Amino acid sequence: MDVDALDEWIHSHLFDQVPQAISVIDREYRVCKTNHRYTEIFGTWHDRTCYDVLKGRSARCGGCQAAQVFADAQPRTTDDVWLDKDGRRGHYVVRLVPIPGEDDRVEYVMEMATDITESTKLEREHQILFERTPCYVAVLDRDLRMVRANEALRTTFGDHSGKLCHEVYKHRSDRCPNCPALRSFEDGQVHTEESVGVRQDGKPARYVVTTAPLARPGEPIEYVIEILHDVTDVLDLKDELERERLFLRSLVDHSIDGIVATEADGKIAVLNPAAEGLLALTAEDTIGSGDLARVFPEEFLEVLASRGASCVLPETAIRVGNEDIPIRFSGVVLRDDGRVLGSAGFLQDLREVKRLEREKLDAERLAAVGQTVAGLAHGIKNILTGLEGGMFLLRWGVEDDRKDKFQQGWEMLDRNFDKITSFVREFLSFAKGRVPVVAPTDSNRIVTEVVELYREAATEKGVEVTAELDPSVGEANLDTEAIHSSLANLVSNAIDACLVSDHKGGHVTVRTRERDGRLELEVEDDGCGMDYEVKRKVFTTFFTTKGTEGTGLGLLVTKKAVQEHGGSIDIDSTPGAGSVFRIILPRDRLPQLTPEDDEQQGGGSAV
């Protein structure tokens, strides 16, 4: 094909082949001619106006650009939104070119439309992304001057126009060392840097800065886009979490009690040093294992199996090797809104506590024995007085042949030998003691029995004995017989106190009470009361205020019985107003129902 032929081919085909939609309209705005692309997009056009085809209108558009071209014969470029044959909107850049007629008038206008719908959409999306992204985004020129800034940046740092990047973010006039934007300008690469700046309110801020060149590879770089992410809060939170974690970690590590925790899958996740020691395990071998029987007592395993919530075991045991170690245990299933996160157990080694408790009980028992021995002397002294007196009178009677003195002395000796017999018998029963028989016992029942025992005899003497029972008192491991005789002794003393009192017709009240983990048995009377000399001596010697009536052993026996239950006796007394004797039995010191403890208590009562 020669050049002329080529020319002719181009003229005849170009109109149809260009990718733009081309139409020609006459002065009536009727579409006269179109190319292939136009028909493809807008459909049939014969005998229709341009505004009908492109906009579905019945009248010419206001501000019609074609009308201007018809008027001044100047080509124009505009953009417009047209509807395609299916009614979809499209964005076009349109070049309007005048086609002159014979009389120099513009006879036709040619409209060449380029579809920019897609690129307009992209541009809008970019705009939104740039503006609305929750970081500070700026476009920097080679001087690091901000030429554009997004909404977040403008809102936070105010007017940025013409300011330098480091002025805005760091309040500094010189450039930052290691500036990532400068590096992006130099090497055309993306750079990320952590940086410390100043917030609008003057507080320090921590940023992650990313810079990227705004140019295609190989082109000179005029601008760099810079994105700053304020991570101050995140990092502060991270630091705080780390501190919190360390704090908890150190609490767990230094706890005297063993701490064991599992994850939701039942695998052991925490085993602190105290737990390692107590359970003879190493964290290394145990963490990740699911063998919970090695770290939790059976009761808690049942709670876990039955999807329970928690359990507190004041005293239980855990098997370590072939030894049962006494522990106090508290276990809890960790939940977040019903979802199981795992479980945690706290184990307190009770071996030392148990040992100390045993030693304390032993010491108290020994002290009771010591006081008993010291007190013996007093009982014996009274009898010796009688014996010496008897001998004195007997001797006088013999020496001076005084029959009356002889008779008197003989009777005194006789009486005191009887006293010795009963004293020794009573003392032996005290000293020998008996093996306590401990069983779960209802204290209210004991009190009722004791009150019944004394009520009638007391009433005859004008003393009223009543019981006030606390229904919340639960069963306790008691030696029924020992507690019964202790209470009986206190009640008997209380009745005596009422009888020797000036105001006859007294009252004795026996109470039970459950308070602060202690079982209390109380005997109150409104009898003679005691002054402090008597109060002090009541338990410490064979002490009696009953003349020849008492041996002084009663309260000592009572004290011994109470001490063997790990308890104590409190006295409140006012001379002339009455006394309260209170047996206090801390529940955690009561005897256990094990053969071992029974044996110890039996052994402790020997003198």
Partner 1 sequence: MAGAHYPPLDRPLSVLLIDDEPDVLTYLAAVLEQAGHRPLVASNAGDGFALLKQERPDVACIDIVMPEETGIALFRRIRSDPEIADTPVIFITALRPELTAITPAAGEEAMPEPDGYIEKPPDAKAFLATIVEVVREKRRQ
Which positions touch partner 1 (CB under 8 A)?
Answer: 377-378, 381-382, 384-390, 392-393, 396, 405, 408, 412, 415-416, 500, 528, 531-534, 536-537, 540-541, 543-548
CB 393 to partner 1: min, Å: 5
* Closest CB to partner 1 among residues 270, 538: 538
24 phi, psi to nearest 5 deg: -125, 130
- Which of 119, 385 has the CB closer to partner 1? 385
Contact 206, 217 (CB under 8 A): no
d(CA 455, CA 508): 10
Whole-number Å distance between alpha carbons of 511 and 528: 20
Report the nearest approach of partner 1 to the CB of residue 508 (Å): 17
Closest CA to 459 of 528, 399, 425, 506: 506
Q: Considering beta carbons, is residue 337 or 549 the nearer one to partner 1?
A: 549
> Minimum distance from CB of 297 to partner 1 (Å)?
48
- Which residues make Cβ contacts (< 8 Å) with residue 253, sequence separation at least 6? 272, 273
Question: Is 328 in contact with 315 (CB distance < 8 Å)?
Answer: yes
| Residue with Cβ nearer partner 1 (345 or 390) | 390
Which phi and psi (to 5°) does residue 30 adopt? -85, 140
Please provide residue 558's backbone torsions phi and psi, each rounded to the nearest 5 degrees.
-60, -45
Instruction: Provide the minimum distance between the beta carbon of 502 and partner 1 in the complex, in angstroms, as a whole number.
Output: 8
Q: Which is nearer to partner 1, 200 or 385 (CB)?
A: 385
Which 3-state string (H, E, C) describes 200-233? CCCCEEEEEEEEEECCCCCCCCCCEEEEEEECHH
Nearest Cα neighbor of 329 from 282, 254, 259, 251 is 259
The residues, any chain, with a CB within 8 Å of residue 230's CB and separated by 6 or more, are 135, 136, 199, 205, 206, 207
**Taking the complex as a whole, how short is the minimal distance between the CB of residue 568 and partner 1, in angstroms?**
18
Name 603's bridge partners: none
Smallest Cα–Cα separation from 276: which of 267, 286, 266, 268?
286
Among residues 289 and 540, whose Cβ is nearest to partner 1? Answer: 540
| Of 6 and 500, CB closest to partner 1 | 500
What is the rounded CA–CA span in Å between residue 41 and residue 36?
A: 9
Minimum distance between the CB of residue 549 and partner 1, rounded to whole angstroms?
A: 9
Q: Residue 386 and residue 411: Cα distance in Å, rounded?
A: 10
Q: How far is the CB of 538 from partner 1 (least distance, A)?
A: 11
49 to 24, 41, 355, 510, 581: CA distances (angstroms): 11, 16, 110, 117, 120
Instruction: Write down the least CB distance from residue 506 to partner 1, Å.
Output: 14
Nearer to partner 1, 550 or 602 (CB): 550
CB of 396 to partner 1, least distance (A): 6
Give 264 or 384: the residue with its C-beta nearer to partner 1.
384
Least distance to partner 1, CB of residue 464, Å: 21
Please say which residue, 102 or 400, places its beta carbon nearer to partner 1: 400
Residue pair 366/605 in contact by the 8 Å Cβ criterion = no
Residue written as tokens 């008993």? 372
Cβ-in-10-Å burial (0-12, 13-18, 19+) of 559 comes to buried
| Residue appearing with tokens 């005290």 | 430
Residue 324: exposed, middle, or buried by beta-carbon count in 10 A (0-12, 13-18, 19+)?
exposed
Q: Which residue lies nearer to partner 1 by CB, 332 or 376?
A: 376
Q: Pairing relation of β-strands 339-349 and 323-336?
A: antiparallel
In the complex, the smallest distance separating the C-beta of residue 547 from partner 1, rounded to whole angstroms, is 4
Of the pair 65, 545, the CB lying nearest partner 1 is at 545
